[in-house]
Structure 1
Amino acid sequence: MGRALFDNADFIEAARALACERGPGAVTVDSITQRLGAPKGSFYHRFASRDALLGELWLTTVLAYQQGFVAAIEAGDGLAAALHTPAWARQHTDDARLLLLHSRHDFAQGDWPAALKRGVQDQAQRFEACLNRFARETFGRAGPAQLKRATFVLAEVPVAAVRGYLQRREPPPKLVDELITKTYHAIVGDQ
């Protein structure tokens, strides 16, 4: 039996390239298979739908982004974790725009492939573990109030700060780092 000419990663990379070049709306089964020179059946052999592929692309992108965030938390540097979002968005502006396609909560419902749901759950657990660790180390415990503060300062503020720039396909300016830093220090204080 011969080796398949294409694998899942080929389709995900083709979708990423199309989304970066022309936006997520340009990612269709036809545009992906044309880019690869693959038959449509090859696509449907791997993915149930365009949405399933975009979900896989989102997860792949989140995991790439999350590496630096997790490393900063593991190093005990919450500010670096908060600043990772604009730094990564500047280095990977088009990829960062793909993160706006979904949130992890989108995968809790619906007819998503089981493997994709598991991957998103694993990613969410790593993120939650980081929030818990930061809350314990910074605020002394990881109760509901401390976790809300951790989520706000490490995730919500940085994402809100870069969202408009990403929607306009602009890298976030350095001013964003200054504003995130001031917010971080206002919330975390000298703890």
Structure 2
Amino acid sequence: MNALIVLGVAVVLVIVLVWWALATYNSLVKARTQVEASWAQIDVQLKRRHSLIPNLVETVKGYAAHERGTLADVVAARNAAGGGLDPAQRAQAEGVLTQALGRLFALAEAYPDLKANQNFLQLQGELGGTEEKIAYARQFYNSAVQTYNQKVQTVPSNIVAGVGGFRARPYFEAAGGERADINVRF
């Protein structure tokens, strides 16, 4: 009789442990999926930003054709910031692009006709709105990464995470000294 009680308690403990492991695994999968979905939102906004840049460069070319170096820097930075990079690499590449765009907008100060150009103003406004969306998407992504990383790194869920191959994800942060906002208004 005692052996049956011990066996019953052992079976209940195994069932509880398996249930906990499955629930923890599912929780990790949900958190990882949220990170991936939020990264996709950042990617959408970055692609939108990248699609605005050629039009902006063409508009500026008409007014500041002899500023080829600045325009070439913007195009090169845009191309370097393409997809396929992890969040840390992408943040660094986007930081370089932000610097190049800052120089482009500073260049417009020297060309009053450019500052008054309706197309330039519209593109500038769209880029400003996109920058706000990128900031929001980055905040949402980093929040999802924080939740996921906490699950991956805290006891006891880190045991399931280790067995399941879950690894901590990097945050998407502004690169180096690029923590200051880019001002796209004049």
Same fold (TM over 0.5): no
Q: TM-score, normalised by structure 1?
A: 0.24
Q: Which has the higher contact order (CA 8 A, sep 6+)?
A: 2
Query: Larger Rg: 1 or 2?
Result: 2
Q: What TM-score does the superposition give when structure 2 sets the normalisation length?
A: 0.25
